[in-house]
């Protein structure tokens, strides 16, 4: 996947110089901190737990050069990819902490021009956004396999012939479906990558029709680390993060 290679290449030099301090794989999210003060999040992606271990081969990355974990963004193992994406977000921390905030998603909705009659395709069910869609009287088409919503073939057809906007969870990076989904997007569709896992790196998405990146940047480090150790998810972790965005409309 080209996106994986771009994410790896963008941070390869920095990862040679930086070491991993903490790697914590929680039930909901994974967090990595680095020796240069970075901290990054990623969804912990596993589909089932059939044994006492989610990782076949144990590697202690803490205290090791970040490059050893960075390359796992190209792995087929989703847990390894979760760890690597959290690292990428940690390596990018100094830039993301400077991005503007969109705490209530108002800027995102305005930039995507979501209003009455707007046809929104959504990959991943984002419960907190439902009231906003209802208030703005937008039409929704959702696919989320874990919630039993939607069918792949029908959804791809809707992207080509129906949707005005695509809101896509960044966990698609972890299961390697980001590029497959975006291949089906019509030229006029406005697209956002959304969620705590989002790598806020415009350069990584230059080959894809992505117009907005919306993610979370930890600001209360110790509280984020504890929340992840305690197995919490977005509703708790977001209290200790900034909800930031990166506007790519001028690039596409």
Each residue's pLDDT tens digit, 98-156: 999 999 999 999 999 999 999 999 999 999 899 999 999 999 999 998 888 988 989 99
Question: What average pLDDT does range 75-85 have in this prediction?
Answer: 96
pLDDT value at residue 145: 82
32-60 mean pLDDT: 90
What pTM, to 2 d.p., does this model score?
A: 0.95
Beta-bridge partners for 213: 193, 246
> Residues 193, 7: contact at Cβ < 8 Å?
no
Please say if the pLDDT value at position 58 is more than 50: yes
pLDDT for position 250:
62
106-216+242-247 CATH: 3.40.50.11590
Which of 171, 191, 175 is CA-nearest to residue 183?
A: 191
42 has a pLDDT exceeding 70: yes
Q: Is the pLDDT of residue 216 over 50?
A: yes
| Mean pLDDT for all residues in the chain | 95
What is the Cα–Cα distance from 95 to 83, expressed in whole angstroms? 20
User: For residue 2, how far is the Cα from the chain centroid?
Assistant: 16
- At 252 the pLDDT is 43
> 251 pLDDT exceeds 70?
no
Looking at CATH, the fold of the domain delimited by 2-96 is given as Enolase-like; domain 1 (3.30.390)
- What is the arithmetic mean of pLDDT over 202-216? 97
pLDDT tens digits, residue range 86-102?
999 999 999 999 999 99
Domain chopping of the chain, boundaries = 2-96, 106-216+242-247
């Amino acid at each position: 996947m080209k996106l994986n290679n771009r994410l790896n290449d963008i941070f390869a030099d920095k990862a040679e110089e930086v070491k991993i301090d903490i790697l914590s794989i929680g039930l909901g999210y994974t967090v990595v901190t680095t020796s240069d003060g970075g901290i990054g999040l990623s969804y912990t992606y596993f589909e089932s737990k059939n044994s006492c271990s989610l990782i076949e081969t144990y590697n202690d990355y803490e205290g090791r050069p970040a490059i050893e974990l960075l390359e796992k963004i190209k792995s087929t193992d989703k847990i390894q990819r979760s760890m690597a994406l959290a690292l990428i977000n940690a390596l990018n921390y100094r830039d993301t902490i400077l991005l503007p905030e969109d705490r209530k998603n108002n800027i995102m909705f305005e930039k995507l021009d979501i209003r009455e009659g707007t046809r929104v395709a959504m990959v991943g069910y984002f419960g907190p956004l439902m009231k906003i869609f209802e208030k703005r009287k937008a039409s929704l088409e959702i696919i989320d396999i874990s919630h039993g919503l939607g069918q792949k073939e029908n959804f791809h057809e809707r992207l080509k012939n129906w949707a005005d906007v695509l809101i896509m969870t960044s966990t698609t990076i972890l299961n390697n479906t980001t590029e497959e989904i975006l291949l089906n997007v019509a030229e006029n569709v406005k697209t956002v990558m959304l969620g705590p896992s989002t790598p806020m790196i415009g350069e990584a998405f230059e080959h894809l029709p992505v117009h907005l990146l919306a993610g979370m940047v930890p600001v209360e480090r110790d509280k984020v680390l504890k929340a992840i150790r305690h197995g919490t998810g977005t509703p708790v972790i977001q209290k200790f993060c900034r909800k930031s965005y990166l506007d790519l409309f001028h690039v596409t």
